[in-house]
Structure 1
Amino acid sequence: MNDSRKYIIGAVFLLVALIYLAQLFSLQVIDSDYKSLSEANIIKPVEELPYRGTIYDRKGRLIVYNKPVYDLMIVTKEVLKSNLDTLRFCQAVGMTKQGFIDRIQAIRKEHGYSQNKPSVFIKSMSAEDFAKIQDHLVDYPGFFISPRTVRSYPYSVMSNALGYIAEISKPKLERDTTGYYKQGDQIGISGMEAKYEPFLRGRRGVRFKTVNVRGIVKGDYRDGELDVLSEAGKNLVSTIDLDLQQYAESLMAGKIGSVVALEPATGEILAIVSAPTYDPNMLTGGEFSKNFNKLQRDSLVPLFNRPIMALYPPGSMFKMVQALVGLQEKVITPQTRHACIRSPIGCHGPHSNEDLRGAIVVSCNPYFYQTFRKIINQDKSPNTFVDSRIGLDMWAEYMHRFGIGVKLGVDMPGEKAGNVPLPAYYDRVYRGQWKFSNIYSLSIGQGELGVTPLQMANLAAIIGNKGHYYTPHLVKSIGENGDKLPEYKQRNETGVESHYFQTVIDAMEDVVLYGTGQYRAKIPGLDICGKTSTVQNPHGEDHSGFMAFAPKNNPQIAVAVYVENAGQGARSAAAIASLVVEKYMLGEIKRKNIEEYVYKGKFN
Structure 2
Amino acid sequence: MQYLEGRKYVVQGIFLVVALIFLTRLFFMQVLDGTYKLAADKNTLQRLVQTPYRGLIYDRKNELLVQNTPVYDLMVVPREVQQLDSARFCELLQIPLEDLRSSLRAAKKYSRNKPSPVVQNLTTPDLAAISDRLSDFPGFRIQARMARAYRTPNLAHALGYVGAITPAFLEKPKYAKYRPGENVGISGLESYYEETLMGRRGVQYKMVNVRGIEKGKFRDGEFDTLSVAGQDLHLSIDAELQAYGEQLLAGRRGSIVAIDPKTGEILAFVSAPHYDPKLLSGKGSGNRYMALLNDPNRPLFDRPLMATYPPGSVFKLVNELVALQLGVVTPYTPFECNQRLVRCTHRHERPSNVSIAIKQSCNPYFYQVLQAAVVRGQAPNKYDDARIGLGQWQKMVKSFGLGEKLGVDMSQEKRGLIPSPEFYDKKFFNKKENRQHRWSYRNVYSLSIGQGEIGITGLQMANVLATIANRGWYYTPHFVRSIGNGGPLPQYRERHYTAVDTTLFKHIIPGMMQVVDGNGGTGNLASLAQFGISVAGKTGTVQNPHGFDHATFAGFAPVNNPQIAISVFIENSGFGGTSAAPAAGLMIEKYLRGKVAPHRKNWENWVMYGDFTKHLKN
TM above 0.5: yes
Aligned 8 A contact 2:138 2:212 in 1: no
Shift of 1:214: 5.2
Counterpart-to-counterpart distance in 2, 1:244 and 1:491: 26
The correspondence for 1:101, drawn from 92, 97, 100, is 97
Give 2:616's aligned residue.
none
SS at match of 2:284: helix
Equivalences for 1:114-125 in 2 at 5 Å? 118-125=115-122
The correspondence for 2:525, drawn from 519, 524, 548, is 519
Counterpart-to-counterpart distance in 2, 1:31 and 1:346: 85
Give 1:417's aligned residue.
415
Larger mean Cα displacement after TM superposition, 370-379 or 278-287: 278-287
Counterpart-to-counterpart distance in 2, 1:602 and 1:178: 49
Larger mean Cα displacement after TM superposition, 285-294 or 542-551: 285-294
Give 1:441's aligned residue.
446
Equivalences for 1:453-602 in 2 at 5 Å? 453-479=458-484, 481-514=485-518, 515-525=521-531, 526-590=533-597, 591-602=600-611
Counterpart-to-counterpart distance in 2, 1:266 and 1:436: 38
The correspondence for 1:329, drawn from 326, 329, 335, is 326
Give 1:8's aligned residue.
none
Q: How many percent of aligned residue pairs carry the same amino acid?
A: 46
Give 1:161's aligned residue.
158
Counterpart-to-counterpart distance in 1, 2:135 and 2:605: 60
Give 1:451's aligned residue.
456
Pair 1:498–1:218, CA change in 2 (3 A): same
Counterpart-to-counterpart distance in 1, 2:177 and 2:76: 25
Letter in 1 for 2:100: I
Letter in 1 for 2:72: Y
Give 2:49's aligned residue.
47
Counterpart-to-counterpart distance in 1, 2:210 and 2:330: 89
Give 1:278's aligned residue.
275
Tell me the alpha carbon deviations over residues 470-502 of structure 1, each in whole angstroms, 9 at most, x when there is no partner: 1000000112x2111111011000121222222
Does 2:254 align with 1:263?
Answer: no
Counterpart-to-counterpart distance in 2, 1:29 and 1:225: 16
Give 1:211's aligned residue.
208
Larger mean Cα displacement after TM superposition, 592-601 or 364-373: 592-601
Counterpart-to-counterpart distance in 1, 2:150 and 2:69: 9
Pair 1:587–1:40, CA change in 2 (3 A): same
Give 1:382's aligned residue.
380
TM-score, length of structure 2 as denominator length: 0.87
Aligned 8 A contact 1:523 1:582 in 2: no
Shift of 1:39: 8.0
Larger mean Cα displacement after TM superposition, 265-274 or 186-195: 186-195
Counterpart-to-counterpart distance in 2, 1:553 and 1:307: 27
Give 1:18's aligned residue.
none
Aligned 8 A contact 2:526 2:584 in 1: no
Shift of 1:425: 1.2
Give 2:425's aligned residue.
427
SS at match of 1:261: strand
Give 2:433's aligned residue.
none
Tell me the alpha carbon deviations over residues 531-587 of structure 1, each in whole angstroms, 9 at most, x when there is no partner: 111111000000110001000112000000101011110122111111110000011
Tell me the alpha carbon deviations over residues 578-604 of structure 1, each in whole angstroms, 9 at most, x when there is no partner: 111000001110122211212224223
Counterpart-to-counterpart distance in 2, 1:510 and 1:117: 68
Shift of 1:512: 0.6
Larger Rg: 1
Give 1:69's aligned residue.
71
Aligned 8 A contact 1:533 1:568 in 2: yes
Equivalences for 1:153-302 in 2 at 5 Å? 153-177=150-174, 179-212=176-209, 215-302=212-299
Larger mean Cα displacement after TM superposition, 445-454 or 35-44: 35-44
The correspondence for 1:603, drawn from 600, 608, 612, is 612
Counterpart-to-counterpart distance in 1, 2:441 and 2:187: 41
Tell me the alpha carbon deviations over residues 21-76 of structure 1, each in whole angstroms, 9 at most, x when there is no partner: xxxxxxx9997366775884553221111111111111111111111111233567
Tell me the alpha carbon deviations over residues 57-100 of structure 1, each in whole angstroms, 9 at most, x when there is no partner: 1111111111111123356787765768829x73x64x3xxx43
Give 2:405's aligned residue.
407
Shift of 1:528: 0.8
Letter in 2 for 1:600: Y
SS at match of 1:277: coil
Shift of 1:455: 0.7
Letter in 2 for 1:255: R
Counterpart-to-counterpart distance in 1, 2:522 and 2:538: 8
Counterpart-to-counterpart distance in 1, 2:176 and 2:552: 46
Aligned 8 A contact 1:45 1:208 in 2: yes
Counterpart-to-counterpart distance in 1, 2:22 and 2:289: 58
Counterpart-to-counterpart distance in 1, 2:80 and 2:489: 51
Give 2:14's aligned residue.
none
Pair 1:126–1:592, CA change in 2 (3 A): same
Shift of 1:439: 0.6
Does 2:112 align with 1:111?
Answer: no
Larger mean Cα displacement after TM superposition, 454-463 or 176-185: 176-185
Tell me the alpha carbon deviations over residues 357-389 of structure 1, each in whole angstroms, 9 at most, x when there is no partner: 000000000000000000001112222211111
Larger mean Cα displacement after TM superposition, 273-282 or 134-143: 134-143
Where structure 1 has 5 or more consecutive residues not aligned to the other structure, the ranges are 1-27
Give 1:5's aligned residue.
none
SS at match of 1:331: coil
Pair 1:393–1:75, CA change in 2 (3 A): closer
Counterpart-to-counterpart distance in 2, 1:459 and 1:116: 55
Larger mean Cα displacement after TM superposition, 45-54 or 69-78: 69-78
Counterpart-to-counterpart distance in 2, 1:85 and 1:336: 85
Counterpart-to-counterpart distance in 1, 2:22 and 2:151: 60
Aligned 8 A contact 2:337 2:364 in 1: yes
Counterpart-to-counterpart distance in 2, 1:261 and 1:30: 60
Where structure 2 has 5 or more consecutive residues not aligned to the other structure, the ranges are 1-19, 429-435, 614-618
Counterpart-to-counterpart distance in 2, 1:473 and 1:291: 29
Shift of 1:151: 1.1
Counterpart-to-counterpart distance in 2, 1:332 and 1:393: 19
Counterpart-to-counterpart distance in 2, 1:348 and 1:150: 54
Aligned 8 A contact 1:521 1:577 in 2: no
Shift of 1:132: 4.1
SS at match of 2:585: helix
Counterpart-to-counterpart distance in 1, 2:256 and 2:86: 57
Aligned 8 A contact 1:49 1:205 in 2: yes
Shift of 1:329: 1.2
Shift of 1:325: 1.1
Pair 1:136–1:365, CA change in 2 (3 A): same
Please tell me the root mean square deviation across aligned C-alpha atoms, in Å.
2.5
The correspondence for 1:316, drawn from 309, 313, 317, is 313
SS at match of 1:273: strand
Aligned 8 A contact 1:311 1:452 in 2: yes
Counterpart-to-counterpart distance in 2, 1:541 and 1:369: 24
Counterpart-to-counterpart distance in 2, 1:248 and 1:179: 40
Shift of 1:303: 1.3
